[in-house]
């Protein structure tokens, strides 16, 4: 029986790359994202690779949307083996004392923390019932070291690490693995979203250095989920060779 991987935020970036590499590795897929049009393109490529794909609109911030998505995926496949909690975002780089509107903070907390918790609580019981499971949470190097202008984004990623650790403790004795994949600078739409569509500002983030790609991270996720069931890769910190730490980047110009 093929294993089923559920991926949130699967319409682009790391989510999309993970979906396609998992399809290549022989997994079936439950793909969710807010952008249905882009998601349908990912689903089509994955189906062409031989995967059975359930896809639907998913907003992890919305309880009804998340519940319906998980219920329908369960109905389609009968089991969910892997959950990749990928949906997440950073918004802005405003310092705490200079922030005048709390909307960005709330959106990051609702997506990166509440969304991840929600999807996990909806899917893990299916894994327990199924007798197999692997939760892969997308963390960040921002969850290891905070930086100016990143307070809330960093807080959500420190939170992700806390949730991953707690979950690993809670699932001790169950055949369910928990892996936190914590990348540094990855060039996707991440910075475009962070800077609200300002592509020039987003490009400057990676200027003169070689960032990681979505495919680099997908590669690591595929590696983690294809280890033998008794091997649990706990936390994987991955940075570009040109990045030694947050704000410590080697640029060639």
Residue 9 is a binding residue for ligand 8X3 (CB under 6 A): no
Residue 137 is a binding residue for ligand 8X3 (CB under 6 A): no
| Enzyme catalytic residues | 153, 157
Residue 156 is a binding residue for ligand 8X3 (CB under 6 A): no
State which residue, 49 or 194, has the beta carbon closest to ligand 8X3.
Answer: 194
CA angle, corner 224, sides to 67 and 83, nearest 5?
5
The CA radius of gyration of the chain, in Å to the nearest whole number, is 17
If we measure between CA atoms, which residue out of 158, 163, 240, 159 comes closest to residue 207?
A: 240
State which residue, 133 or 184, has the beta carbon closest to ligand 8X3.
Answer: 184
Give SS3 for 154.
Answer: helix
Give SS3 for 217.
Answer: helix
Residue 14 is a binding residue for ligand 8X3 (CB under 6 A): no
Contact 243, 185 (CB under 8 A): yes
Residue 184 is a binding residue for ligand 8X3 (CB under 6 A): yes
Token output for 194:
């962070």
What does residue 175 show for φ and ψ, rounded to 5 degrees?
A: -80, 55
Q: What distance in Å separates the CA atoms of residue 178 and residue 160, rounded to the nearest whole number?
A: 12
State which residue, 12 or 184, has the beta carbon closest to ligand 8X3.
Answer: 184
- Site for ligand 8X3 (CB under 6 A): how many residues? 7
Q: Binder to ligand 8X3 among 92, 112, 246, 249 (CB under 6 A)?
A: 246
Candidates 5-13, 52-60, 79-87, 140-148: pick the segment binding ligand 8X3 (CB under 6 A).
140-148
Candidates 70-78, 107-115, 135-143, 229-237: pick the segment binding ligand 8X3 (CB under 6 A).
135-143
Q: What distance in Å separates the CA atoms of residue 216 and residue 197, rounded to the nearest whole number?
A: 24
Q: Binder to ligand 8X3 among 133, 150, 159, 211 (CB under 6 A)?
A: 150
Residues 6 or more apart whose CB falls under 8 angstroms from that of 214 comprise: 13, 14, 16, 17, 18, 186, 188
DSSP H or E stretch at residue 244: strand 243-245
Q: What distance in Å separates the CA atoms of residue 115 and residue 120, rounded to the nearest whole number?
A: 8
CB of 142 to ligand 8X3, least distance (A): 4
CB of 186 to ligand 8X3, least distance (A): 7
Q: Binder to ligand 8X3 among 8, 137, 141, 164 (CB under 6 A)?
A: 141
State which residue, 18 or 140, has the beta carbon closest to ligand 8X3.
Answer: 140
If we measure between CA atoms, which residue out of 137, 113, 148, 143 comes closest to residue 105?
A: 113
Residue with CB nearest ligand 8X3? 140
Residue 185 is a binding residue for ligand 8X3 (CB under 6 A): yes
Name the site residues for ligand 8X3 (rule: CB under 6 A). Answer: 140-142, 150, 184-185, 246
């Amino acid at each position: 029986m093929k294993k089923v991987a559920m991926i949130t935020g699967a319409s682009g970036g790391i989510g999309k790359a993970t979906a396609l590499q998992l399809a290549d590795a022989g997994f079936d897929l439950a793909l969710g994202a807010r952008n249905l049009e882009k998601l349908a393109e990912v689903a089509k490529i994955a189906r062409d690779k031989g995967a059975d794909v359930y896809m639907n609109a998913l907003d992890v911030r919305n309880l009804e949307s998340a519940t319906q998505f998980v219920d329908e995926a369960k109905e389609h496949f009968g089991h969910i083996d892997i959950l990749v909690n990928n949906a997440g975002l950073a918004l802005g780089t405003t310092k705490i004392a200079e922030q005048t509107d709390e909307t960005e903070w709330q959106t990051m907390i609702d997506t990166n923390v509440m969304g991840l918790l929600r999807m996990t609580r909806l899917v893990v019981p299916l894994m327990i019932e199924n007798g197999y499971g692997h939760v892969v949470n997308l963390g960040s190097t921002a969850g290891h070291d905070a930086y100016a202008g990143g307070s809330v984004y960093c807080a959500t990623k420190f939170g992700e690490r806390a949730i991953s650790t707690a979950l690993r403790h809670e699932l001790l004795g169950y055949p369910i693995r928990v892996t936190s994949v914590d990348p540094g600078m990855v060039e996707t739409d991440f910075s475009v979203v962070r800077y609200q569509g300002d592509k020039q500002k987003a490009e400057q983030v990676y200027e003169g250095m070689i960032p990681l790609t979505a495919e680099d991270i997908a590669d690591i996720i595929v590696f983690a989920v294809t280890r033998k069931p008794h091997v649990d890769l706990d936390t994987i910190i991955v940075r570009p060779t040109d990045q030694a730490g947050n704000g410590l980047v080697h640029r060639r110009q």
